[in-house]
Amino acid sequence: MPSLSEVYRAYPVHIQHKHPDLNSLQELPESYTWTQLEEHANNHPSNCSPNESVPVIDLNDPNASKLIGHACITWGVYQVVNHGTPMTLLDDIQWVGETLFSLPSHQKHKAARSPDGVDGYGLARISSFFPKLMWSEGFTIVGSPLERFRQLWPQDYNKYCDIVMQYDETMKKLAERLMWLMMESLGITKEDLKWDQFKKTCAALQLNSYPTCPDPDRAMGLAAHTDSTLLTILYQNNISGLQVHRKGTGWVTVPPVPGGLVVNVGDLFHILSNGLYPSVLHRVLVNRIQQRLSVAYLCGPPPNVKICPHEKLVGPNQPPLYKSVTWNEYLGTKAKHFNKALSTVRVCAPLSDLFDVNETLRNSEQVG
Ligand SMILES: O=C(O)CCC(=O)C(=O)O
Ligand SMILES: [Fe+2]
């Protein structure tokens, strides 16, 4: 079975690797100026509506699975508290991120991601799909960070490695717990799922830094995308910036909750749920005042396990909406089609889309 690194290596994305040190720029260069952001100012993180907020779920609540199911159907994202991850570990991983991104540029470039590689320092992988650059830097870890951390901190890499390994271990357990709660909320039991296959989940850790920006209304921290995962667990420091897109509402800010973790439904869980749980579209805006940091635990199945709409969610009135696909195959599709990848594995349009089409037709008839 290929490792996640081998899978990524098979689908190189071509992005410009040398970029300026964002902290040194006094003005937003043309190459970082996004022009189609008129709605940006109205949607700035400070303008979030309290009535439309991403559900925060206490994992100690006996109804957690039900609440998660409701959040997944209506939002495709939720925040969790009382998830069992020690606050000290969250502080430690934040400290690793802060220390890493504050290294001098030349030092970070020693651990630069290679063009056909996945791990290391560099621009967001999705950069190749956009004409403009994003106001962020990232560091991806797959498996052990040892080699990369040795390049960054030749003397004392061990203490950083220990924290990352511990964080990875903790997130792995949490991801399994959350995945199970999400399955349960769909009426899928461990027996139904051949759970053993999912015991060996594969994951990557993505550290992101969004430096302060001289012109935040015209810049983009991370452009709108969905994650190619089953689910993603995101830790954000106490600075807003993450927004999720909700049908009928538009962009909604996900405010940081002390000690909370954000959980996104990814493309593969969307497929498995036969389209019931939307894979949430999200993006990151930047600000003028404080650096934002995030750590994403991107969790998928073993690369060669087939993922398809679960048979319990398929029936005469609910045809399967997606073909079966492995994570390996799906990452290839995503590398080629990016945000259109899900529609390339779609068999037929979901009923909700048909309703939308009917609505559009009705409206156009009225107009005509
Ligand atoms: O920084 C964030 O809040 C989001 C990061 C993200 O979406 C990702 O790494 O895929
Ligand atoms: Fe993401």
Determine the pLDDT at residue 50: 54
What are the tokens at 215? 């012109």
Position 47 confidence tier, pLDDT thresholds 50, 70, 90: low
**For residues 279 and 269, is the Cβ–Cβ distance under 8 A?**
yes
Rg (CA), the chain: 20
Residue 70 pLDDT more than 90? yes
Catalytic residues: 292
Pair type for strands 222-225 and 202-210: unpaired
Q: Which of 14-23, 36-45, 55-64, 300-309 shows the lowest per-residue confidence on average (mean pLDDT)?
A: 36-45
CATH superfamily, domain at 4-9+29-364: B-lactam Antibiotic, Isopenicillin N Synthase; Chain (2.60.120.330)
> What percentage of the chain carries pLDDT values higher than 70?
87
Q: Is 359 exposed, middle or buried (0-12, 13-18, 19+ CB in 10 A)?
A: exposed
Determine the pLDDT at residue 82: 98
**Whole-angstrom Cα distance, residue 9 to residue 117?**
5
- Angle, in degrees to the nearest 10, between helices 157-185 and 64-74: 90
Between the CA of 226 and the centroid of ligand 2 the distance, in Å, is 6
Terminus-to-terminus CA distance in the chain, angstroms?
57
**Ligand 1 touching residue 295 (CB < 6 A):** no
Residue 183 pLDDT more than 80? yes
**Whole-angstrom Cα distance, residue 144 to residue 149?**
9
Of the listed ligands, the closest to the CA of 137 is: 1
**For residues 216 and 291, is the Cβ–Cβ distance under 8 A?**
no
**Interface pTM, i.e. ipTM:** 0.99
Determine the pLDDT at residue 357: 43
**Ligand 1 touching residue 220 (CB < 6 A):** no
**Ligand 1 touching residue 208 (CB < 6 A):** yes
Residue 93 pLDDT more than 50? yes
Predicted model pTM: 0.91
Question: Which tops the pLDDT comparison, 81 or 336?
Answer: 81
Residue 365 pLDDT more than 60? no
Between the CA of 365 and the centroid of ligand 2 the distance, in Å, is 39
Mutate to test the pocket of ligand 1, among 118, 222, 253, 299 (most ligand atoms within 8 A of CB): 222
Q: Helix, strand, coil shares of the chain as percentages rounded to 5?
A: 40, 20, 40
**Ligand 1 touching residue 85 (CB < 6 A):** no
Phi/psi at 295 (5° precision): -130, 115
**Ligand 1 touching residue 222 (CB < 6 A):** yes
Domain ranges of the chain: 4-9+29-364
